[in-house]
Amino acid sequence: RESNKDGVNVNISNFDPNYIIYDSSTDTTYLRGRLLGKGGFARCYELLDLNTNKVYAGKIIAKSRIAKPHQKQKILREVELQKDLKHKHVVEFHSYFEDEENVYIVLENCNRKSLVHMLKHRKTLTEPEVRYFMTQLVEGIKYIHRSNIIHRDLKLGNMLLNDDMQLKIADFGLATRVEYKGEKKMTVCGTPNYIAPEVLQKRGHSYEADVWAMGCVMYALLVGHPPFETATLKETYVRITGNSFSFPDWVSPSSRNFIKRCLAHEPDLRPKLDEVLQDEFFSAGHMPSFLSVSCCTNAPRFPVYTKF
Ligand SMILES: CC[C@@H]1C(=O)N(C)c2cncnc2N1C1CCCC1
């Protein structure tokens, strides 16, 4: 085992010495590690930076798969939007480079996969855990919006977790930059998972579409499935435009109330991110200061204390 300047121990035997990736623009050599999964055109691997012994997550896209100019443009747009963002709850961009056969996007590594995997294991999360993750998500989205960017694809699979159980917002593949105050976007190139009604109906959308998606994320974490999920995409879209969703009776009033505010059909009626953390859901309930990685598989028991 080796350790890097952050003192993080890295088991370099997980990395294949036969698979070298060289970035000539920064004279950096990487060893390719285990396959993390697929995301769009990309095959994603752990990458070990041999200069620093740090592990990154690399999106490797074969040039043959992005032969058409607009496909390459989409990749460059994603990099363009993510490269200047620097925040605790946003995945950090490390580098972009190309070689003969691939383009490479090198990103911050998140060892504990995403909220999709956590929910698959746990079925539902406790309210304190939801408060913990939603607070980090709000902080990250506030930062992204302050950078004049709308993410447009906030979903459980884009909420990655590191070994400290810190949430990191990933994948700016559907994101867009707001060029002027009041600008309304009319189209999205792709299909957001938790798509807002105003995006579906192409009535013009902006930052409020991310608040809608945040409401869908919170509902899914608490209830175990998204609010508008049905057997077919068409039926789901009918539910979204009809704003028809309901809660199991065990969901608390403060959770219901906050989710209803985020899922307001009218974008202007949704909470503004600067006031979200004052909502009763966040202020009147136990807020864990940290979560153990055991929460990925087992429900935690929080110290029950009575205010006296
Ligand atoms: C590299 C792609 C994506 C990602 O964006 N990051 C930052 C990440 C960081 N660490 C682990 N996995 C990551 N992923 C996974 C790979 C498969 C699906 C999403």
pLDDT per position as a tens digit, 189-215: 888 999 999 999 999 999 999 999 999
Q: What is the pLDDT of residue 303?
A: 75
Ligand 1 centroid from CA 72, angstroms: 20
pLDDT, tens only, 65-122 = 999 999 999 999 999 999 999 999 999 999 999 999 999 999 999 999 999 999 999 9
Q: What is the pLDDT of residue 9?
A: 78
**Integer Cα distance of 176 and 178 in angstroms:** 7
Q: What is the per-residue burial (b if ≥16 Cβ within 10 Å, else e) of 193-203?
A: ebbbbbbbeee
Strand, coil or helix: 49? strand
Atom of ligand 1 nearest to the CA of 38: 17
Q: Are 54 and 6 in contact (CB under 8 A)?
A: yes
Q: Is 279 exposed, middle or buried (0-12, 13-18, 19+ CB in 10 A)?
A: middle
Low-confidence stretches of the chain (pLDDT < 70) are 304-308
List residues near ligand 1 (CB under 6 A). Answer: 36-37, 39, 44, 57, 59, 91, 107-110, 160, 170-171
Q: What is the pLDDT of residue 308?
A: 60
Ligand 1 pocket, mutate which of 36, 38, 47 (most atoms under 8 A from CB): 36
Atom of ligand 1 nearest to the CA of 157: 19
Ligand 1 centroid from CA 57, angstroms: 6
Atom of ligand 1 nearest to the CA of 42: 2
pTM for the full predicted model: 0.95
Ligand 1 centroid from CA 225, angstroms: 22
Ligand 1 centroid from CA 36, angstroms: 7
Ligand 1 pocket, mutate which of 34, 35, 90, 107 (most atoms under 8 A from CB): 107
Ligand 1 centroid from CA 263, angstroms: 28
- Max Cα distance, the chain (Å): 68
Residue positions annotated with a catalytic role? 153
Q: What is the ipTM of this complex?
A: 0.99
Q: Are 227 and 181 in contact (CB under 8 A)?
A: no
Atom of ligand 1 nearest to the CA of 59: 1
